[in-house]
Amino acid sequence: HHRPVLMYQHNLLKLPPGARAEVLLQHKEARERVYSTFAAADVSYSLVANDVEAAAIALLAAGEPERAAECFKDAAARFAAFYGASSVDAGRCQRGAQATTLSQLSAEFGKQGYEVHAHH
């Protein structure tokens, strides 16, 4: 299944940032629906959070810092519910919510040893 996933991720990068964010948020909703049929919500939090965090990054790239902050906070809450409030992922998203531009986010994540990707 790796090849289709890589193709999907590569094609996401071809979309303008705003459209990429919308696709990722639709994917998040689809994942939530699918996972709810066989798993407790807290089991899927981290998987769904990956889509939400990637959407937040795309929203920053699209110049929508308010929506990006909402997505980062959502992702942080999902990561915290799964891994704990002090987890690296939750902390990264909490810091991401403070960024107002993609370059600011890249600089902050660079200090922490993370890279900003269009997908996670």
Q: How many Å from the N-terminal Cα to the C-terminal Cα in the chain?
A: 17
- Whole-model pTM: value is 0.85
Count of alpha carbons within 13 angstroms of residue 48, beta-carbon side: 27
Q: Closest Cα partner for 117 from 26, 20, 48?
A: 20
Which tens digit of pLDDT belongs to each residue from 63-108?
A: 999 999 999 999 999 999 999 999 999 999 999 999 999 999 988 8
Predicted confidence band of residue 119 (pLDDT cuts 50, 70, 90): very low
DSSP 113: T
When computed from its CA atoms, the radius of gyration of the chain, rounded to whole angstroms, is 14
Q: Give the pLDDT of residue 54.
A: 94
Predicted confidence band of residue 120 (pLDDT cuts 50, 70, 90): very low
Average pLDDT, rounded, for the chain: 87
SS3 content of the chain, % helix, strand, coil (to 5): 80, 0, 20
Q: Give the pLDDT of residue 118.
A: 43
Residue with tokens 């919308």, as numbered in its chain: 22
Q: Give the pLDDT of residue 62.
A: 96
Q: Kindly list the domain boundaries of the chain, sorted by start residue.
A: 2-112
Which tens digit of pLDDT belongs to each residue from 6-20?
A: 777 778 889 999 999
Burial class (CB within 10 angstroms; exposed 0-12, middle 13-18, buried 19+) of 64: middle
More confident residue, 52 or 112: 52
